[in-house]
Amino acid sequence: MIGAAVTRREDARVLLGQTRYLDDLELAGLAHVAFVRSPHARASITAIEAPAAADGLLAVVTAADLDGLVRPFPVPPLDGAELADEPHPVLARDEVRYAGQPVAAVIARTRALAEDAAELVRVDYEPRDAVVNARDSDLALMRWSRRGGDIDGAFAAARHVICGSYSLPRLVAAPIETRGAIAEHDPGRDLLTVWCSAQDPHRPRAQLAHILSRPDDGVRVIVPDVGGAFGSKGVIAPEVAAVAAAAIKLGMPLKWAEDRLENFLAAYQGRGIEGDIELALDAGGRMLGVRAWLWADLGAYLLTTTAIPPHTAAMLMTGCYEIPAAQVELVGARTHKVPTGPYRGAGRPDAAYMLERLVDQAARELGIDRIELRRQNLVRQFPHRTPLGYVYDSGDYERCLDLAVELGGLQAIHDAGNADPGTRIDAATVTGIGVALYVERAGGQWESAEIELDPSGRFVISSSACPHGQGHETTFAQIAADRLGCGLDQVVMRFGDSATVPRGVGTFGSRSVAMAGSAVVIAIEKLVELARPLAAHLLACEPGPVQLTAGAFTSSASADAVSWAELAGAAYQPERLPPGMEVGLRAGASFHSPLVFSSGAHTAVVQIERATGRLRVLRIAAVDDAGTVINPLLAHGQVIGGVVQALGECLVEEAIHDESGQNRSGSFMDYSLLTAAEIPPILTAEVSSPSPLNPLGAKGAGEGGTVGTLPAVANAVADALDGLHLDPPYGEEKLWRALREAGL
């Protein structure tokens, strides 16, 4: 089953409309919450006055009402980073720091009445000037720096030093299902239950336990079906914490289901980073060292994971190259905008974009072919410790590069004598080709799984990972069926309820298959060990030579075989058990490992219309290495989804705040996503360098598409513009002006 292109078991439910998302859930006596939000990016609050009464109004809850009940968001330490004591508050109290920040929760019998009543809440603000650009901010929420190898020596010895400045705008994750939660407090058991549209139950539970100063088992989080997250539901919304606290305080179950405008305004955003970066090379083009100064626009406060993407970007600054020395200085600036956090790729595209643009510039300035310059400097020996301290477990970067060049038809363009962009101009268009490689940090930390053979002979597996579109219900069942030798339909997967699934970390960072999938493997190994004595007993032989082969237990000492179904029949009948064996067959395991590193090479061919500046991506070739792939069909879907998100980032996506901190891209009228009609042919191929760090050999596939395509397209655009650098998104006006600047 491992490596089989099985179609998703969950799709029938999705297609028949049988899924149940947060807003589909109802509870008896449920009241509804709407939020009063700050209209200003920066202001002092001098007074908040609730209406005396309004139709259906039940309560107005402000920060003062939650005194003693809530603390700000937890912000864990991060790898030597200096983090300011500026955690996101649940509700704003004396000041607001971004437009859209929740100030008061208004509770009414229906959502519509709550929204009407919210308009009657009077908040007096004293507005102040907002800081919107990271480099203008003199307030840091985060500082981190590291140097490794002889960086001064590298730059002193360099024959060439190539410099570049790059910038990526903020993006919105835009999942189809927006955020939301239902909270109910049972005072008898002092149990808070929160149904939450989240990536997993564990992190929301830990965040709520911290914010509400409750023990872990005083909070139960249930994740229903989730309509996408793309990183944006790893940290609970401050609104969810407010809903939970208000449900406890008021003693009534509450629901908040966010609308699209709120999601644009107040859901944490992704990217938003700029950098100056320098590459030192010797006369022959060998890379000696890299130095980077990064400014991340972290927004107004630290959420639990705000500091992680820029840290990941900083750590990946040597990419897939054998660069002996590196130095990175990172400032996470405070601006008066909604905070940032992980968005698909979460720092990896940022690093790949800056480094791969710079490598292209180096190739140009040194007069070396850009594919050759890359090939010459690739990491070839694994494990490889980067000067910044990551240890790459496995990979075949050269194979990825060769395949991507071949798949993208770049060789043919070269062979046709069209390598020089000058020869690719015709009356109507200019054409560019781009190549980029990437390394993707994946896996790490730990996950767990529990498996039970139930009396009917089905395997019920509870996993600490939690799907929100990836297809774990199929993938994890494949892993189990493979190891158990059973059919897929004999495996039942359970996810997403902190009261019934084992503890774990969560679904993010392309880590579920490598970590939680490996936990399933180990739990199965334990189950098989527990089953062997029972099988031996039923075979009337010694357990020693009993083995599981093709779904049945056999022994050299017996001609018979015992199936899992027979074991299930016996395991719950004490009189059929060998002496000392417990009733039932169940096992649990956790798995931990260091990070694993996926990788890949993408190429892009683009054409810019000279009269209009319109960019057409003609094709993308994506070659990705996720180690052992469990389900090539689903992994391919992940790559395609990621590539399309990256194309959106290249072509149209940009979250814009004006100079007063107002969100100017607050709806789908102003923030565009690509539609299927705008997607070029995406050619994919796979390289497989199994990871030595887990029993599956698996690495991550969930983000690679977003990481490789951005720099490939950016390099292709620069190639078309005869080397002129532009940051995305590549809108028509920007390209039209650039064509004129480049004399094209």
Binding site for ligand MCN (CB under 6 A): 175, 228-231, 344, 468-472, 475, 507-514, 626-631, 634-635, 638, 641, 698-703
What CA–CA distance (Å, rounded) separates 160 from 279? Answer: 8
Smallest separation (angstroms) from ligand MCN to the CB of 286: 33
Choice between 483 and 699, CB closer to ligand MCN: 699
Smallest separation (angstroms) from ligand MCN to the CB of 231: 4
**What is the DSSP code (8-state) at residue 87?**
B
Smallest separation (angstroms) from ligand MCN to the CB of 1: 11
Report helix, strand or coil for 550.
coil
Smallest separation (angstroms) from ligand MCN to the CB of 493: 11
What CA–CA distance (Å, rounded) separates 337 from 21? Answer: 29
Choice between 662 and 689, CB closer to ligand MCN: 689
Cα dihedral 465/467/468/470 (nearest 10): 120
What CA–CA distance (Å, rounded) separates 670 from 655? Answer: 9
Choice between 615 and 626, CB closer to ligand MCN: 626
Residues for the chain: how many in total? 744
Choice between 194 and 698, CB closer to ligand MCN: 698
What CA–CA distance (Å, rounded) separates 157 from 623? Answer: 35
What CA–CA distance (Å, rounded) separates 580 from 591? Answer: 28
Which element (helix H / strand E) includes 112? helix 111-118
Is 124:45 a contact under the CB 8 Å cutoff? yes
Is 46:126 a contact under the CB 8 Å cutoff? yes
Q: Which two tokens stand for residue 436?
A: 């980029």
Choice between 102 and 705, CB closer to ligand MCN: 705
Q: Which amino acid, residue 615?
A: L
Choice between 277 and 346, CB closer to ligand MCN: 346
| 677: number of Cβ within 10 Å | 5
Choice between 465 and 534, CB closer to ligand MCN: 465
What CA–CA distance (Å, rounded) separates 223 from 506? Answer: 12
Smallest separation (angstroms) from ligand MCN to the CB of 273: 17
Choice between 507 and 715, CB closer to ligand MCN: 507
Smallest separation (angstroms) from ligand MCN to the CB of 586: 24
Smallest separation (angstroms) from ligand MCN to the CB of 195: 18
Smallest separation (angstroms) from ligand MCN to the CB of 691: 9
| 267: number of Cβ within 10 Å | 22
Report helix, strand or coil for 1.
coil
Choice between 555 and 706, CB closer to ligand MCN: 706
What CA–CA distance (Å, rounded) separates 252 from 557? Answer: 64
Choice between 269 and 554, CB closer to ligand MCN: 269
Distance of alpha carbon 733 from the chain centroid:
31
Beta bridge partners of 182: 195, 255
What CA–CA distance (Å, rounded) separates 526 from 548? Answer: 12
Smallest separation (angstroms) from ligand MCN to the CB of 597: 12
Q: How do 219-222 and 191-196 pair as beta strands?
A: parallel
| 714: number of Cβ within 10 Å | 30
Q: Which two tokens stand for residue 737?
A: 């002006």
Smallest separation (angstroms) from ligand MCN to the CB of 199: 7
For ligand MCN, which residue has the nearest CB? 469
